[in-house]
Structure 1
Amino acid sequence: MGATNESLPNSEANAAVQEAITEEQAKFFLDNGYLVIRNVLSAEELRLLREQTQGVVDKGIAGEGVDEDYLYRVRGSGERVYWRTEYVIDKLDATKALLGHPFILKSVEKLQGNNFVPTWDSLVVKIPSQAASVPWHRDAEVPVGCADPRPIFNVDFYLDDADEKSCLWVIPGSNRWDPGSASERCARPGFDFDGAIPVQLTAGDVIFHDIQLLHGSPEGEGNALRRTIYYEFRSGEIEVEFGPHTLEYLTIKQRLLNDCIDRRKQTLYGASEKSFEYRPAGALALAGGEVPPQTEYRYPHEKYWRT
């Protein structure tokens, strides 16, 4: 069904021995639309994330008293199954600290520049023996008229192992296809594996994937839970010129990022790290002076769309 990830040079980084992705790994990502990073989460951070997200998953499976942040899919059998929860940073302490991960932020900065901004945050779940298919898709298209080469992408943190029955499938290089070619590929019936590769991971690993990369997963019958936390990042300059968010939203999320970096310093695993220094500049520089404590972490996108 295609080459394995391990057979592609520079397709993997290792956070256990690197401070950030290398130039060669960055080029692989830009060319192919994805990059695997091994050993991102320490044993303690992984334990806390698994422990805290389990409550969210249990609530989603029960389907009782859930709110608009809990989303569901329908399997081929017609069965409605829990799929994802939005605004996960708002819900858990461990996901707040996760946003401040220094390896990840240094690597995002390498790809997007120092004015990057965190945007979406979600928890996506595959329930044992109940995973619905996620058809081939792009998360979004680059804004019309944008010639800025910096990628918009998701950072996918895996809290559980992902084997061939539960992993993400990607089509390398499809991030550079024109919209028509991408639409044609997505319109094929069934889950067509042509040109695709499975990205199998161990708990604690991460994938960077471009919003234009074609990716998805077939309906699964695996017997293991798979939880993935998705954080999207965008270049601040692209957001300023094209949106979709207002300028107010950018400042809010910049301050939230600084709060999460500070929160990470208070954790056992963060205290031993060299923390990331977020230094946006120019029109996106944060105003000086005392910043009030962060008390809110859920900022609905629709409240900050540009008209």
Structure 2
Amino acid sequence: MGLTEVKVPVVDARVQDAITDEQAQFFLDNGFLVIRNVIVGEELRLVQDEMQKLFDRGSAGVVNDPDYMYGVGVKSGQQILKRIEYVIDKSDPMKALLGHPFILRSVEKLQGRNFIPTWDSMVLKAPNEGVIVPWHRDAAVPEGCEDKRPIFNVDFYLDEADLQTCLWVIPASNQWTKAESDARCGQPGFSTEDAIPVPMQPGDVIFHNIEVLHGSPAGDGNPLRRTVYYEFRPGEIEAEFGPHTLEYLPIKQQVLLDCIQRRQAASYSQGETPYVYKPNGAFAVSSRKQPEAYRLPHEVYWRR
């Protein structure tokens, strides 16, 4: 299928409860899906304000905190904030965001009811200093895994992303072999002849498969672009292949249950139909417990 034939569906979280079967199939085929108007009104303002506080703290320079990550600015050549890890731990509105019912119902449609939330981060393009993100895959499906359910990120956009700052994706590259992916990523520069841009507005979301090729060019005069990433994985894949230990899974389930309850108490969620998390089999949860922590360092629970 040529790029002119990739008809990106219009998904609006204000008028549907979850993605449709057709929208889910587009995601499975192409490795990405755009959802408009996921965060709106009071919630959007709160999340923007909370993440601005983290951005300001990181931009001032944080010493000896591995959660704040830096790259070289394209104009100044100085260390520029590019990523902040564990945002759920750092902000109550980000906890409530994890409980967003449209998102969780859509994740269940794609992964099944035993899904597990894994990573939570904010990725940044600082004003006038946008660090290039070369073509890449976020990760690989574990070797030997024959389960075809996708592992993917949910990308919440807090700022407008125009052609100067937006993500570019190569549709259907999630279906490429490793050799094909490596060859494309090895090409010099940031060529886009086989890619499409994905402009976004504040509050919009992209689902992107961990194996779809994506990236963004360096900024020059670019405005601030903040994107929050929540990753989800089918519990069965995580239990068999990792990368986290089995101990990690029930702890993250309790974090998810807590965040769903927090969302129900939020003023801006009134009128929503809450998501009901009911994992089954080996992943069934008998009761909800208050999480002891929301920051679960990956390296502590790393299987390999």
The unaligned stretches of length 5 or more in structure 2 are none
Q: Secondary structure at the match of 1:183?
A: helix
Q: Deviations over 1:269-304 (max 9, x none)?
A: 12221100000000111134xx44234100001111
Q: CA contact under 8 A between 1:166 and 1:222: conserved in structure 2? A: no
- Residue 305 of structure 1 corresponds to 302
Q: CA contact under 8 A between 1:125 and 1:228: conserved in structure 2? A: yes
Q: CA contact under 8 A between 1:245 and 1:306: conserved in structure 2? A: yes
Q: State the percentage of identical aligned residues.
A: 59
* One-letter code aligned to 1:301: H
- Residue 47 of structure 1 corresponds to 45
| Aligned residue runs from structure 1 range 23-172, under 5 A | 23-65=21-63, 67-76=65-74, 78-172=77-171
Offset, 1:8? 3.9
- State the TM-score, normalized to the length of structure 1: 0.95
Offset, 1:128? 1.0
Q: Deviations over 1:21-51 (max 9, x none)?
A: 0000000000000000001112111000011
* One-letter code aligned to 1:224: P
**Cα 1:134–1:118 shift into 2, 3 Å:** same
Match of 1:11 among 9, 12, 29: 9
Offset, 1:266? 0.9
Q: Secondary structure at the match of 1:247?
A: coil
* One-letter code aligned to 1:70: Y
**Cα 1:181–1:116 shift into 2, 3 Å:** same
Q: CA contact under 8 A between 2:127 and 2:222: conserved in structure 1? A: yes
- Residue 233 of structure 1 corresponds to 232
CA distance in 2, matches of 1:176, 1:103: 26
Offset, 1:10? 5.0
- Residue 192 of structure 1 corresponds to 191
CA distance in 1, matches of 2:221, 2:49: 21
| Aligned residue runs from structure 1 range 268-307, under 5 A | 268-288=267-287, 291-307=288-304
The unaligned stretches of length 5 or more in structure 1 are none
Q: CA contact under 8 A between 1:10 and 1:24: conserved in structure 2? A: no
- State the TM-score, normalized to the length of structure 2: 0.96
Offset, 1:237? 0.5
RMSD over equivalenced CA pairs, Å = 1.5
Q: Secondary structure at the match of 2:39?
A: coil
Q: Secondary structure at the match of 1:14?
A: coil
Q: Deviations over 1:238-288 (max 9, x none)?
A: 011111111110000000000000000111112221100000000111134
| Aligned residue runs from structure 1 range 202-213, under 5 A | 202-213=201-212
